[in-house]
Structure 1
């Protein structure tokens, strides 16, 4: 049977196994499963419901609309949904009414939250800029933010759940300095009369490598998808399994003579009479244009480099005299169990990280789910049995 034109196969059993393993590493610290960017391109709904079925009680999704999406598919208030990047024009009322946790980094943002409170207090995490300079209050801004939060909490308008920061992961020394800075800010908040009950600073890499940085909770994203961030460390080295496999099918084959120019600009020419196989996946689907000659795809158990420029909708491989036919399945990347390249190998070959590769996979690539999808809330959802 021919394979679909293009497909991302998401192994929910692998995700759950990774989740259970990482959670065992973090115990007794709480684990927040990070699912920003549509769960790193894997599909937010199925990933989140799998995590909930596995007992996860903290999920990070970046934005309020993503959190409200999860509430709408049945993720109840027993699961805390943390968001931290907010549209300047966002009305926070729906988020507050749906018990969505809000990361807040400045007084103006906090005031917008307070103004939106109606019948229940807003759940707020106060952000500290410890050196990454993307989010969080600076040293100069922090006292005013703390005092405003303290007063709003005393007035019953908000509940300060936690303080948090994000580390640059530049070096052990830089991260240690950032955590020391964060600790000083928390101490200052307590001196100003605000009790900080929860602290979370470490994401996937720091959470894995620096036990002393785990605090009360670790935010884990890439590791849960089988994409470790440590240099030179594979998923298999850690006992993790890559969750996504990107596949396609050969759409056309063409026999061409020696010296044939292939794709745009003729950056590749055949060195013998050969067969070209057309794979209907291109940069519009997330395969970088720079992938020519740098990554390999697998057809019938044999790996072939991409030949010629990657186009918007397709690329070619030179399969020589091998018996490759229309409809044959093509694996672009996978867990590596059958000899195919992994996401990490793609990342190294393309001078980037595995997370970028999976996040690039476009919306016209069909996501299909295997494994845990037949069970619990996930199976019900994928069968169309909405909450």
Structure 2
């Protein structure tokens, strides 16, 4: 199906970002490719070619297609309900996080039933009150894991946690969480466990705080050019373009869009493009939001509709069929994801994962 809107994925940018990050740490790099590689598709293979040694996803359902595609690298899945499809994970050599005693017991039970041995990362909550076992259960979890190791149903390969404020370099909570993670690893070893990996840092901490790196860093956003800490210039891997559908000339004071909240200040030309919130464009945007047409940034006129935007192109002789760049790496003066995130009052991660299925995707090696 032909679509006037295209999302271009620059594989070279993913490779470049991965290499840069891998060169900045002594730890191994886990490429986090959840949510279809943050909307970037075949990022897993590119990241592995560029220096990542392992992959991370949320669910078992995200991990299985990677195995079916022939990926042999270790894959960790860390967000599953207790009744998840553990059998498929074991059969496809998918490592599993255990964020509770119940999860750990279920994993061991399924491994026992299959005559298998599960590779497990014990997950501790050190300050997010989100996923991960509470500190009060940690000693019991380590002791139980050691019993499962003795019976041959579990092998603890990792200890993991997640930082809450790593995008604010030097924040005291990050220091506290690092110390708690280190203490948790020492507790695990004192119980006879020998995890190969202790891991805490995601992209922001990987770029700003080597003390959090331990043995492994989990890098997702950074692979795709997003730095939550705003301290490093990475290359954006995603460019969103569309084409003008129609153009009309209007007088000063012409209302545009739902609610008629936008009035043209002078006689101008309005260009319609077939892109809206169903395609991933945030409906709530500041008046500063812009796109690139003919090398110039032009404002969005009026509210974002489900399927369309109106652009105020002024006196430019824009014609139907001309290309409009919504965002990209900024090489040609187009708005970047960081700018769009600011206009939408959100984060870049949300924008790259919300692009709708009507948008045609092109991947460049």
Query: What TM-score comes out, normalization by structure 1 length?
Result: 0.89
Hey, what's the Cα distance between the residues in 2 that align with 1:178 and 1:54?
Answer: 30
SS in 1 for 2:227: coil
Does the aligned pair in 2 maintain the 1:292–1:306 contact within 8 Å?
no
Match of 2:44 in 1: 48
Q: Map 1:1-387; keep pairs closer than 5 Å.
A: 4-26=3-25, 28-43=26-41, 46-76=42-72, 79-117=73-111, 118-169=114-165, 172-231=171-230, 233=231, 238=233, 240-291=234-285, 293-370=287-364, 372=365
Number of matched pairs: 359
C-alpha displacement at 1:196, in angstroms?
Answer: 2.6
Hey, what's the Cα distance between the residues in 1 that align with 2:261 and 2:286?
Answer: 9
1:55-105 deviations in Å (ceiling 9; x for gaps): 5320111111111010011112xx011110103431201101111010111
C-alpha displacement at 1:216, in angstroms?
Answer: 0.3
1:113-168 deviations in Å (ceiling 9; x for gaps): 11211143111000011001111111211122111111111111011101010011
1:238-280 deviations in Å (ceiling 9; x for gaps): 3x21000011111111222222110100010112222111111
The Cα RMSD (Å) is 1.5
SS in 1 for 2:103: helix
C-alpha displacement at 1:351, in angstroms?
Answer: 2.2
SS in 2 for 1:335: coil
Hey, what's the Cα distance between the residues in 1 that align with 2:82 and 2:102?
Answer: 10
Hey, what's the Cα distance between the residues in 2 that align with 1:104 and 1:325?
Answer: 57
SS in 2 for 1:367: strand
C-alpha displacement at 1:284, in angstroms?
Answer: 0.9
C-alpha displacement at 1:172, in angstroms?
Answer: 2.2
C-alpha displacement at 1:316, in angstroms?
Answer: 0.4
Hey, what's the Cα distance between the residues in 2 that align with 1:331 and 1:199?
Answer: 42
Hey, what's the Cα distance between the residues in 2 that align with 1:189 and 1:20?
Answer: 32
- Bigger drift between 267-276 and 324-333 goes to 267-276
- Bigger drift between 182-191 and 143-152 goes to 182-191
Does the aligned pair in 2 maintain the 1:9–1:367 contact within 8 Å?
yes
**Runs of 4 or more off by more than 4 Å in structure 1?**
none
- Bigger drift between 151-160 and 3-12 goes to 3-12
Query: What TM-score comes out, normalization by structure 2 length?
Result: 0.95
Hey, what's the Cα distance between the residues in 2 that align with 1:309 and 1:326?
Answer: 21
SS in 1 for 2:235: coil
SS in 1 for 2:24: helix
1:308-330 deviations in Å (ceiling 9; x for gaps): 00011111011122111111001
Q: Which runs of 5+ in 1 are unaligned?
A: 373-387
1:298-350 deviations in Å (ceiling 9; x for gaps): 01111111110001111101112211111100100001010011001111222
Q: Which runs of 5+ in 2 are unaligned?
A: none
C-alpha displacement at 1:4, in angstroms?
Answer: 4.8
Does the aligned pair in 2 maintain the 1:23–1:31 contact within 8 Å?
yes
Does the aligned pair in 1 maintain the 2:82–2:106 contact within 8 Å?
no
C-alpha displacement at 1:294, in angstroms?
Answer: 2.9
